[in-house]
Amino acid sequence: MANKSKPGRPPHEDLLTPTEWKIAHAVQHGMTNREIAARRGVSLDAVKFHLSNVLGKLQLRNRRALRGWFQAPRDSALAHRRSSMSSNANLRRIGQIARTVRDILESERWYRDVLGLPHLYTFGTLAFFDCSGTRLMLSQNESISMEESILYLQVDDIELAHAALSQAGVDFMSAPHMIHKHGDGTEEWMAFFKDLEGRPLAIMAQVAVDG
């Protein structure tokens, strides 16, 4: 059923508008309203407005409930991907390792020019490098922790992996959510969970448009 829009606005066929999907996925990624506003270059009031609309449309009480809610955007590659018959999570290999840095541009040059790591792409305060098939993500942060290691485990089907691991008792901190969409339409999806000590890990998947 088409989503009803306010007078003067074009109707949207999906459950949420494109902007609302981005706000929802940012919340599911653990970002605060202020961080979302800074990342998207909009006012804090605008973020609060869109988040209120999201919660109302989904009939969710708060952002905590939103973090556990899952559905793919109607026009996303994940929504149109071919279904898998596998019933297990099918964890394969470490797909990404994250580290914090104080200055993303300075670190980008150092990792690329000094260490010689192939630079994949940079957007905002995030820079990505290829480590022989394992992706290294650098994120700018004023506070640098000496004890950090988030393992991102790559899976073929993040929806089935999330369901299988949840059924096995894994404590997820968020449902699968899209964190980025590349120019060619390939989507980056992630879902974070805790290990036995309460430290964060994640499953991740790249979903390409079926051609």
**Predicted local confidence at residue 85, as pLDDT:** 62
Specify the number of domains making up the chain: 2
Residue 31: is its pLDDT beyond 80?
yes
Cα(137)–Cα(121) distance, integer angstroms: 10
Distances (CA, A) of 54 to 58, 66, 109: 6, 9, 39
Same domain, 98 and 174: yes
pTM listed for this prediction = 0.76
Angle CA 43–122–200, to nearest 5: 80
204 φ/ψ angles, rounded to the nearest 5 degrees: -145, 155
Task: Give the residue-averaged pLDDT of 139-162.
Answer: 82
* Secondary structure class of 90 (helix, strand, coil): coil
Q: Are 81 and 205 in contact (CB under 8 A)?
A: no
**Predicted local confidence at residue 201, as pLDDT:** 83
Cα(198)–Cα(210) distance, integer angstroms: 37
Answer yes or no: is 77 within a domain.
no
Same domain, 104 and 191: yes
pLDDT in tens, 173-202: 999 999 999 999 999 999 998 877 677 889
Answer yes or no: is 3 within a domain.
no
Q: Which of 22-31, 39-48, 135-144 is predicted with the least confidence, judged by mean pLDDT? A: 135-144
186 φ/ψ angles, rounded to the nearest 5 degrees: -65, 135
Measure the N-to-C terminal CA separation of the chain; round to a whole number of Å.
Answer: 26
Same domain, 65 and 97: no
User: Binning pLDDT at 50, 70 and 90, where does residue 9 land?
Assistant: low
Answer yes or no: is 83 within a domain.
no
Q: Write the burial class of residue 72 (CB in 10 Å: 0-12 exposed, 13-18 middle, 19+ buried).
A: buried
Residue 152: is its pLDDT beyond 90?
no
| Domain extent at residue 59 | 18-69
Same domain, 121 and 180: yes
Residue 88: is its pLDDT beyond 70?
yes
Look up the CATH number of the domain holding residue 101: 3.10.180.10
